[in-house]
Amino acid sequence: MDLSVEGKVYVNGVFEQACIGVENGKIVEIKKILKEDEHFDFGNKLILPAGVDVHVHFRDPGMLHKEDFYTGSVAAVSGGISCVFDMPNTIPPANSVECLDDKIKIGNRKSVVDFGLYAGVTNDNIDKIEGLNEKCNGFKVYLGSSTLSLLFDKKNLHRLLDKVSLTGKPVLFHAEDEECLIEHKMVEKNLSDHLSCRPAVCEEVSIKNVLSMSQGSNAKVHICHVSSCEGLELLKGHLGNVSFGVTPHHSLLNVEKKLGFQSFYKVNPPIRTSFDKEALFNAINNGFVDILESDHAPHTMEEKNVDFDVAPSGVPGVETMYPLFLYLVKKGFLSFQRLTSVLCTRPAELVGVSKGCIDKGFDADFIVVDLKEERRIRSDNLHSKCGWTPFEDWPAVFPSCVFIRGEKVIDDYEIQVSKGFGRFVGV
Ligand code: DOR
Ligand code: ZN
């Protein structure tokens, strides 16, 4: 064995004082006593699986002033995430084999966390899915327009699901119905106008559509960032081949709250009412939600600090997601079982990586936390290039150490590895 790590380890849903033995980046043993030459003893600090974020926008290539694979991945690991899956709305978009190849190279050169990529599917490349499949971990489809999105016409859904089902990989939907969005278009001056422009009914119509098309299909379907009670109701008790995600911003923020400068909170789908927010949080708690995904969508302060109607949509979140929810666990609002399910196990299952669980055979990706170490979220301490957070001043619990494939990537809250440590997780 190469090393052993000792602490209060989360195994099979309980904490045990134990040691994790690691060889070639994998967990090979979990025992009361193990002592390799390289041994890290964390005493009674908690050791939890690292998170997997299935939804980030690292802006690389093409928008390096907002983020790049290095800064995005340092933000991820600082917040306890060991593996991210990047969305295709970069410049150029990742909707061809060449662009995916370039992106794999970029990630391999710059990332400090392991990563995977989605191929963007538009009306024009449905027939190329087989080729794209060789270079991606899943597919992303936008059924409604959003910032930099690659629009897809719902009349092609059947053909898309047929093709995707042959790959065995997931297809992720931005489910807001384009026709419905067009119908509700109006001048937007604030968040409440934004909500009127993108009402829950647009999400409802779109999810209904995807669900009815998915029936009888073997495609692995994931609905991203469900944001409304209506959407949630449709998905309760969904079929086995369908999963859905919720974001921290939709489950913790609501439009009635004094949110500060409004364009900073402009995001698609929009932040909705306290009623929606509470329903989403309860659904995470009650086991209805499969996955918590950050939808980390950084835009700079300069880009956001403009009139509401011209501001881009999107909020950062990859670094604050796990710490915010760890704090909620500390306060008794959520169980460790639910936390690790939505942040680790289920996302890893969706994208088919051997991560998200402290058990033999899985990658040795884990975080060390001390629940007493509560910190306020401060933009100045975060690592995204965008330089701000919608959760400024919120209490959180950050991991002091993070291991990826048995390597200490964060030690005492500081990054220990250089660019390129992260690996493409393969296809
Ligand atoms: O608010 C959003 N921002 N929604 C999206 O679908 C895209 C994202 C971005 O890339 O900025
Ligand atoms: Zn997104």
Single residue among 351, 377, 402 that ends a domain in this structure:
351
Closest ligand 1 atom number to CA of residue 299: 11
Kindly give the distance from the C-alpha atom of residue 161 to the centroid of ligand 2, in angstroms, as a whole number.
20
Count of CA atoms in the C-beta half-sphere (13 A) of 191: 21
Q: What whole-number distance in Å separates Cα of residue 223 and Cα of residue 361? A: 29
* pLDDT, tens digit only, all 427 positions of the chain: 999 999 999 999 999 999 999 999 999 999 999 999 999 999 999 999 999 999 999 999 999 999 999 999 999 999 999 999 999 999 999 999 999 999 999 999 999 999 999 999 999 999 999 999 999 999 999 999 988 878 999 999 999 999 999 999 999 999 999 999 999 999 999 999 999 999 999 999 999 999 999 998 999 999 999 999 999 999 987 778 999 999 999 999 999 887 778 999 999 999 999 999 999 999 999 999 999 999 999 999 999 999 999 999 999 999 999 999 999 999 999 999 999 999 999 999 999 999 999 999 999 999 999 999 999 999 999 999 999 999 999 999 999 999 999 999 999 999 999 999 999 998 8
Query: Do residue 17 and residue 93 come from a single domain?
Result: no
Number of domains making up the chain: 2
Q: What is the CATH number of the domain that holds 296?
A: 3.20.20.140
Query: Do residue 119 and residue 41 come from a single domain?
Result: no
Single residue among 299, 319, 351 that ends a domain in this structure:
351
Q: Which of 57, 178, 308, 385 has most ligand 1 atoms within 8 Å of CB, for mutation?
A: 57
Q: Which of 68, 114, 295, 363 is catalytic?
A: 295
Query: Do residue 259 and residue 115 come from a single domain?
Result: yes
Q: Within a domain: residue 376?
A: yes
Spatial neighbors of 282 by CB under 8 A, at least 6 apart, are: none
Kindly give the distance from the C-alpha atom of residue 215 to the centroid of ligand 2, in angstroms, as a whole number.
25
Query: Do residue 70 and residue 184 come from a single domain?
Result: yes
* Helices and strands counted in the chain (H then E): 14, 18
Q: The dihedral of CA 86, 91, 96, 101: what is its sign?
A: negative
Q: Which of 89, 247, 263 has most ligand 1 atoms within 8 Å of CB, for mutation?
A: 89
Indicate if ligand 1 lies below 6 Å from the C-beta of 99. no
Closest ligand 1 atom number to CA of residue 87: 10
| Nearest ligand by distance to the CA of 85 | 2
Nearest Cα neighbor of 270 from 317, 227, 301, 318 is 227
The secondary structure element, H or E, covering residue 21 is strand 14-23
Query: Do residue 94 and residue 222 come from a single domain?
Result: yes
Indicate if ligand 1 lies below 6 Å from the C-beta of 89. yes
Indicate if ligand 1 lies below 6 Å from the C-beta of 247. no
Which pairs from 327-333 meet CB under 8 Å and 24+ separation?
Answer: 327/374, 327/394, 327/395, 327/396, 327/397, 329/371, 330/371, 330/374, 330/397, 333/281, 333/285
Secondary structure class of 119 (helix, strand, coil): strand
* Structural domain boundaries, residue 32: 3-47+362-415
| Nearest ligand by distance to the CA of 146 | 1
Query: Do residue 120 and residue 143 come from a single domain?
Result: yes
Q: Whose CA is nearest to atom 2 of ligand 1?
A: 314
DSSP 314-327: ----TTTHHHHHHH
Q: Whose CA is nearest to atom 8 of ligand 1?
A: 314
Query: Do residue 34 and residue 158 come from a single domain?
Result: no
Q: Whose CA is nearest to atom 3 of ligand 1?
A: 314
Secondary structure class of 299 (helix, strand, coil): coil
Q: Within a domain: residue 357?
A: no
Q: Within a domain: residue 105?
A: yes
Q: What whole-number distance in Å separates Cα of residue 196 and Cα of residue 82? A: 37
Query: Do residue 140 and residue 97 come from a single domain?
Result: yes
User: What residue type is 81 in one-letter code?
Assistant: I
Closest ligand 1 atom number to CA of residue 298: 11
Note if 295 is an active site residue: yes
Q: What whole-number distance in Å separates Cα of residue 22 and Cα of residue 296? A: 31
Q: What is the pLDDT of residue 259?
A: 77
Q: What whole-number distance in Å separates Cα of residue 30 and Cα of residue 28? A: 7
Q: Within a domain: residue 303?
A: yes
Indicate if ligand 1 lies below 6 Å from the C-beta of 145. no
Q: Within a domain: residue 223?
A: yes
Q: Which residues surround ligand 2, an ion (CB under 5 A)?
A: 295
Indicate if ligand 1 lies below 6 Å from the C-beta of 268. yes
Query: Do residue 300 and residue 379 come from a single domain?
Result: no
Q: Within a domain: residue 328?
A: yes
Q: Within a domain: residue 356?
A: no
Single residue among 351, 380, 404 that ends a domain in this structure:
351
Query: Do residue 100 and residue 38 come from a single domain?
Result: no
Spatial neighbors of 303 by CB under 8 A, at least 6 apart, are: 66, 311, 312
Q: What is the CATH number of the domain that holds 31?
A: 2.30.40.10
Contact criterion met (CB below 8 Å) for 67 and 384:
yes
Nearest Cα neighbor of 129 from 330, 427, 415, 336 is 427
Q: Which of 90, 313, 315 has most ligand 1 atoms within 8 Å of CB, for mutation?
A: 313
Query: Do residue 215 and residue 339 come from a single domain?
Result: yes
Angle, helices 200-214/157-165, rounded to nearest 10 degrees: 50
Phi, psi angle pair for 193, to nearest 5°? -65, -40
Q: Within a domain: residue 425?
A: no
Query: Do residue 258 and residue 316 come from a single domain?
Result: yes
